[in-house]
Amino acid sequence: MSLRPFFGPTLALCGLMAAPALSLDMPASEGAIHVCKANGDNKAAGTKEAPKKNLDGVLKKAKGGEVILVCEGVYSGTFDIGFFESPKAVKLYGGYTTDFSKRDLMAHPTLLQPDNKSGAKSRKALFTFQSEIDGVVVDGFVFDMGKRNSYSPAEGKPAGVDSGMLLLPPAKAPGENATVTETCLQFSSAAKAGSVIIRNNVFANCASMGIQAGVRGGEWKISNNVFVANRMAAVEVYGTCRPKAGGPSAKLSTSCATVEFDHNTVLFTWSRLKDFLDMGYGFRIMTMLTYNIHDNIFGTNIQAGIDHSRFSATPLKIDNNGFFVNKKADLEYSPESNTKLTLSAEQFGDLEFESVSGNTTKMPKGFPIDSAYLEGFLSARYSEEADYDPESPANVLRSVMGMNKQGKLKTAVTMYGNRYPVETAVKLFGGIDGKGAQKP
């Protein structure tokens, strides 16, 4: 039997300061489309006094640039279809009370949260912007796949953790639909160029990345979000514009757009499979984009807080981020072909990026992380055991018949992709003063 440890780095502690509250945008109510599942009507005018009911229906009919205000509650699509799609570039704001008099993301969360039954109706990304994206705003939503995913009833369930291990298709819990392994928030790679703002959201338990986007051009700002217990990567944004002339190498220096990733908290990103070998990154630096990554928290990611292994030569800034307990490295970096470096934040100063300063490796004392989930993560192990008997009656017969002998490989894992309680994820806002997601 071989044991593959999940946790490597030691945990350092420092003091905790209370994070200041940030003021929320309150878009003008006049002219906006109001949506409230609790007291809305699809035939209503969409005003504050007469809101619409179904968000997906509003998205289908909305015009580019329209503002959509969504009240608190759980949204899973008309007839609980399990997904939302927007063909137009709209501005979405969640976290309102049912009368739209107040906006508080933590006290009145707007959850995009389909259940497991929806997996029999659709197998799509939770929310997709399909074509027009210039001017998109997504502000104040909880994207949660924890009820749509299928988890083992008992395997890989540490004490006090909300569920057993995440099950990937075709595996599924008895009586359930298989996990939908699609992204929580997706921007189609065929979408037009445009500038986008994604802020003040929670992305939890996404079975295939929190955010994935193909970008042709524009300015992207991903700010003040919480990403927790997502699979493969919390964020993967890549360029899709036409590379400069000059052959294949020109792609590495072409920049389609800028991406600013700031004041986000990124925790517990899990690998592609339960063997912990592939993927599991907080933020992925891809090709043909200029990145500015600053003032984030990257902790407890199975591979690295940041992945920079695509040989991109576009401008890059990594400043003032806090790293802790990332299994493989704080930064996985491939400066050239057949070269891979696994670096801690203390080593960033030797990197020849446009800017790289102020990065630390400390976890604050009292950080509002789920303690049972963290304990399970720190001690998580994957094991393999081969059950092979060359002299078993079946294998002797196979040998006589000229067939290959066979055995079985037994695998086990103590924790993998387990559901993180979304009500606990919301409390991660404001964990550290000035760094990571602040209280909106």
How far CA 48 is from CA of 38, 60, 103, 202, in Å, comes to 13, 20, 13, 25
**Pairwise CA distance, residues 54 & 77, whole Å:** 7
Tokens of 101: 């008099």
pLDDT of residue 406: 67
DSSP string, 246-266: SSTTHHHH---EEEEEES-EE
pLDDT > 50? residue 20 = no
Q: Would you state the torsion angle of the CA atoms of residues 53, 59, 64, 66, taken in this order, to the nearest 10 degrees? A: 20
Q: Mean pLDDT throughout 56-82?
A: 96
Q: Mean pLDDT throughout 269-280?
A: 94
pLDDT > 90? residue 384 = no
**Phi-psi map region of 240: left, alpha, beta (phi>0 left; psi -120 to 50 alpha):** alpha
Please give the share of the chain, as a percent, with pLDDT higher than 90: 70
- Taking the CA atoms of 426, 185, 71 and 163 in sequence, report the sign of the dihedral they define: negative
What is the band of 233 on the pLDDT scale with cuts at 50, 70, 90? very high
**Pairwise CA distance, residues 93 & 137, whole Å:** 8
What is the band of 17 on the pLDDT scale with cuts at 50, 70, 90? very low
**Pairwise CA distance, residues 238 & 289, whole Å:** 7
Report yes or no: 77 and 84 within 8 Å, Cβ to Cβ.
Answer: yes
pLDDT tens sequence across 139-164: 999 999 999 999 999 999 999 999 99
Lowest-pLDDT range of 10-14, 342-346, 432-436:
10-14
pLDDT tens sequence across 96-152: 999 999 999 999 999 999 999 999 999 999 999 999 999 999 999 999 999 999 999
Report yes or no: 133 and 141 within 8 Å, Cβ to Cβ.
Answer: no
Tokens of 436: 């990571």
Q: Mean pLDDT throughout 189-202?
A: 93
Q: Mean pLDDT throughout 310-333?
A: 90
**Pairwise CA distance, residues 279 & 356, whole Å:** 24
**Pairwise CA distance, residues 70 & 54, whole Å:** 10
Cα angle, residue 174 at apex, residues 171 and 176 outer, rounded to 5°: 75
